Amino acid sequence: MNREVLEAVGIDYQQGLKRFSGVKDIYEKYLRCFLSDTHFNEAFEAFRQKDYKTLESAAHSCKGLAGNLSMTTLYAQYAMVVQSLRDQNYAKIDEAMCRAQKIYETIYNTIEAEGKN
């Protein structure tokens, strides 16, 4: 995978590599595993249904996965979603989830394309 391309979409490649003991193949394997994770779709579906309890649980999982993979922009966005849910600031959740979905799709599409290279 091209490090510069990944960093351009908000993945701190160097930090991620450190999290995986500097082993590029393992880090990139887990980046590819991101493509099959179901928590993001679960979060988007819960958001559409206004099921805030399920959304909080799924968003927390999304935040954790994004953090572990050093997806800094996605992590920050899901941190905002989780905090807004905990604060019961539902007006802020709509905007935060719309941004989260755009960031997610960008990262997803980039990893998918880079995984083919």
* pLDDT means over runs of 10, the chain (117 residues): 95 96 96 95 96 96 97 96 93 92 97 85
- What pLDDT is stored for residue 90 in this prediction? 87
Residue by residue, DSSP assigns 28-39 as HHHHHHGGG-SH
Whole-number Å distance between alpha carbons of 54 and 93: 14
pTM comes to 0.92
Tokens of 38: 């179901």
Are the C-beta atoms of 70 and 13 separated by less than 8 Å?
yes
Phi, psi of 69 (to 5 degrees): -95, 5
Nearest residue to 97 (alpha-carbon basis) of 107, 85, 109: 85
What are the structural domains of the chain? 3-116 (1.20.120)
